[in-house]
Structure 1
Amino acid sequence: LISKRSGVLERLNAGEVVIGDGGFVFALEKRGYVKAGPWTPEVTVTHPEAVRQLHREFLRAGANVMQAYTFYASDDKLENRGQTLKITVTQINEAACDLAKQVAGEGDALAAAGVCQTPSYLSCKSETDVKAVFKRQLDVFVKKNVDFLIAEYFEHVEEAVWAVEVLKTSGKPVAASMCIGPEGDLHGVPAGECAVRLVKAGAQIVGVNCHFDPMTCVKAVKLMKEGVEKSGLKAHYMVQPLAYHVPDSTYLGYTELPEFPFALEPRTVTRWDVHKYTREAYKAGIRFIGGCCGFEPYHIRAVAEELAAERGIMPAGSEKHGMWGAGLEMHTKPWVRAR
């Protein structure tokens, strides 16, 4: 294994699998710390112990990226549609970075922080205005000296490129992840072209997250990889999908489904589904593998267990989990032991 002092690019360049964490937004909403609708992360300030514990659970499950909970922690989002929070963007982002770095230091993990799509872009504000939103977050990330940066959850490649251009000014490694499926972004830009634009903007890692189920996301990243390779460019690839089966969604993803966001549980993928997804992603050449909304620690543990041979290590959380249900041999009911 690569030394824990090595950065994300060193790990990927050496062929190591980097395992991302899971979905903080949904997990903390279900636990009573995040409000559905605005989805803003003031919990990093109001209840840091909840965020810290979730980081620790993902670390124990095998994740070696602790992604600071900075999703939607931008000025325009905190003030959007009647929000009247008294907590500042700087406070939220600083607390998020501190929590991620603290837990990353408890294991062989890296701390990342990121930006995502903004109300400013959707309101047709200028490139200068949108980039200023990203820059205010970036200033905190640089101050806190996180290991690398992520531009994630972008529906439009134009805005994602702007984010990458801002993040690159830090000199830190940049990953760019769009919430698109195989059909491309919401302006109709194909997935492969999205990836090419992101790499040309300076992203060293590209891929997709959220909005679609695991296998659909892998398919989208395959198209990204094809586009980058046809252009003669080089990149690493990442995938962090939903933990829900959403085959009936269109190019808009799961947000258009009537079950979003409060009744998605019947669509939840099993740990066995995650094993299949992980193997498919690995076979596709994707080496940064994690999860987004709905991914709980046991899902991430399945990622780590599926790739235990390749990584040479099992996650700490596997001490309480027999592979393929082996622990059921200790069950009191004979019909369960016989499975």
Structure 2
Amino acid sequence: LNIMSNVRKRKGLLELLVEGPVVGDGSMCMTLEKRGYCRAGPWTPEAVLLYPDAVKQLLREYMRAGADVLQTPCYASSDGRLKRGNINYTVRHKFHTSEINEAACKIAHEVALEGNALVCGGITPVLSYLHKKGDLVIRAEFTDQLEIFIQRRDTVDFILAEFFGHVEELEICIDVMKRSKMPIACTMRIGPLGDLNGVSVKECAVRMARTGADLIGLNCMFDLNTTLKTIKRMKKALDDEGLETPLMCQPLGFMCPEVENSLYGYARLSEDPFALEPRQVTRFEVHAFARAAYDLGVRYIGGCCGMEPHHIRAIAQELSAERGRNPPVQDMCPPCEWLKKSNITTTQKKTNLEFWMNLKPGCGRPFNPSCNK
């Protein structure tokens, strides 16, 4: 059976957005690194070729948690970034954009068929922009990433340009992406200070919308609270200009308030990338975030680095009324009913959802600083 020839019968992204909020998936590269299948630093996605079963399992967990969309696991799959990341591999294992994106499409599609999820083709920034190689070279590198998604358009439902730090580069990318004739989403990794060229949040939002993208927003680098502050500015900017492009956000899964006014977010933390676990958000903080984001007008909510399957489940559960359905693991929440059946008396008493929503979790390390210096 050639699974790539199967025709999916579910509604597309734009139809789902009209009906209610859409839930995205979560962390890929960072979670695969923790599980031993990816390297920190390059963060390139060779795992789709070397460890496909591990990648499938993680995607399957996100879908089971309630994700409507599975993104092709090919972050940083551009030949410039892959060449930089290939230095520790043998000649036999030199990886290229086309083979990684091809494998990522097959894996995402295979898992998506198990739960009738949408598949999103991911495109990321290119080094040729940073190195000022010129418009033609930049466009060629984006075209290389896009080509497989065009070839596999029968299995890819829409494409996403994500993790852009420069709105100028994003505008070039989206212009290239229009060749696909598929719905286009795009996100920037910006906080309150705007992009890396000094373009304000307001101007970024307006310029993103005016590219003609179907969905715009934020991903990664900043925590839940900072993301809410930034997305609020974006929404106001769009409203002021009379622009109605739907918003999306896929924030960081770690708390890092001290880098809110940094251009580089959590990358400025001394704990990055190997000691971030004490900062990881709880599922109840994600519940609160999902509600706040939805109330701000965000209609596509997922997660980026550090957002694990149980966090995606929290989003799906929080928005179950608006979506008209519960995730497959709804029996695990709310905790109240199941905790009553615990053999531990102190656990039995924690059956009030308000207790969990208002909890101030500790890190368990005496005299640890609350924030990074």
Q: How does 1:21-170 map to 2 (within 5 A)?
A: 21-80=25-84, 83=87, 85-145=93-153, 146-170=156-180
Deviation string 1:166-191 (CA, Å, 9 cap, x unpaired) is: 11121111001000012211111111
Distance in 1, Cα, partners of 2:151 & 2:336: 45
- Aligned residue among 172, 187, 198 for 1:188: 198
Instruction: Report if the CA contact (8 A) 2:253-2:280 is conserved.
Output: yes
Q: CA deviation at 1:43?
A: 0.6
Change (3 A) 1:130 1:325: farther
Structure 1: unaligned runs, 5 residues or longer: none
Distance in 1, Cα, partners of 2:173 & 2:285: 33
Q: CA deviation at 1:293?
A: 0.2
Equivalent in the alignment of 1:201: 211
Structure 1 stretch 192-201 or stretch 259-268: which is displaced more? 192-201
- Aligned residue among 6, 11, 14 for 1:6: 11
Tell me which amino acid in the other structure corresponds to 1:43.
A
% identical aligned pairs: 46
User: 1:334 aligned to 2:345?
Assistant: yes
User: 1:276 aligned to 2:284?
Assistant: no
Q: CA deviation at 1:159?
A: 0.7
Instruction: Report if the CA contact (8 A) 2:44-2:85 is conserved.
Output: no
Deviation string 1:218-271 (CA, Å, 9 cap, x unpaired) is: 221221222222222220100000011010012320001101111111111000
Could you say which structure has the larger radius of gyration?
2
Distance in 2, Cα, partners of 1:229 & 1:8: 23
Q: CA deviation at 1:82?
A: 6.1
TM-score with structure 1 length normalisation? Answer: 0.95
Distance in 1, Cα, partners of 2:24 & 2:122: 13
Deviation string 1:186-210 (CA, Å, 9 cap, x unpaired) is: 1111112112112222211000000
- Aligned residue among 326, 329, 338 for 1:314: 326
Deviation string 1:132-170 (CA, Å, 9 cap, x unpaired) is: 111011110111111000000011111111111111121
Equivalent in the alignment of 1:257: 269
RMSD: 1.4
Instruction: Report if the CA contact (8 A) 2:75-2:124 is conserved.
Output: yes
Structure 1 stretch 92-101 or stretch 321-330: which is displaced more? 321-330
Instruction: Report if the CA contact (8 A) 1:148-1:173 is conserved.
Output: yes
Instruction: Report if the CA contact (8 A) 2:86-2:94 is conserved.
Output: no
Distance in 2, Cα, partners of 1:331 & 1:58: 27
Structure 2: unaligned runs, 5 residues or longer: 1-7, 351-373
Q: CA deviation at 1:325?
A: 4.3
Distance in 2, Cα, partners of 1:190 & 1:324: 42
Tell me which amino acid in the other structure corresponds to 1:306.
E
Distance in 2, Cα, partners of 1:220 & 1:113: 25
SS at match of 1:176: strand
Distance in 2, Cα, partners of 1:66 & 1:81: 25
Change (3 A) 1:242 1:56: same
